Structure 1
């Protein structure tokens, strides 16, 4: 992973305003994880690593695009692992959404 991606992830997490205390605690856990683990965005970081996701909503906000996760056999928003060429979380999420949806 690039240093830029790691820096971007920390910036995104540090500047996000959570809606409640539980989400703020989770945000803090993610920040702490990235501070402890320089490779915390890599799928090779075990047992935990962060991923990037995108929620695709129709213009009228009546529909969302989901994908059936093969291993979990459950429907999820689009997203997945960050790749070495990714430089931002948003870019990683967009790449994953394009790959998984074919759009």
Structure 2
């Protein structure tokens, strides 16, 4: 992403344009949990936690309540694919396919 930002700043033709900078594919929380196993052979898993329980865990861990609820909403939106945007803009800007979760 840093390389893409630099390209947009130093090259002409990016004025008044917006880009969707995403990875090479959409990943669910289960994909993220599976990636360490595929790289190391060590098992990991994703446990779906109810939003109120997640917020309470954050608060008990010292996260201020407003931030805990903000983070909980953000995590819930990700889980529900609210940010499920895929674009090839990053690949187009930097000239190579972005790394995936499984790249070694």
TM bucket normalised to smaller: under 0.3
- Say which one has the larger Rg: 2
**What TM-score do you get using the length of structure 2 for normalisation?**
0.24
Quick check: which one's strand share is greater? 1
Task: Considering Cα pairs closer than 8 Å and 6+ residues apart, tell me whether 1 or 2 has the greater RCO.
Answer: 2
**What TM-score do you get using the length of structure 1 for normalisation?**
0.25
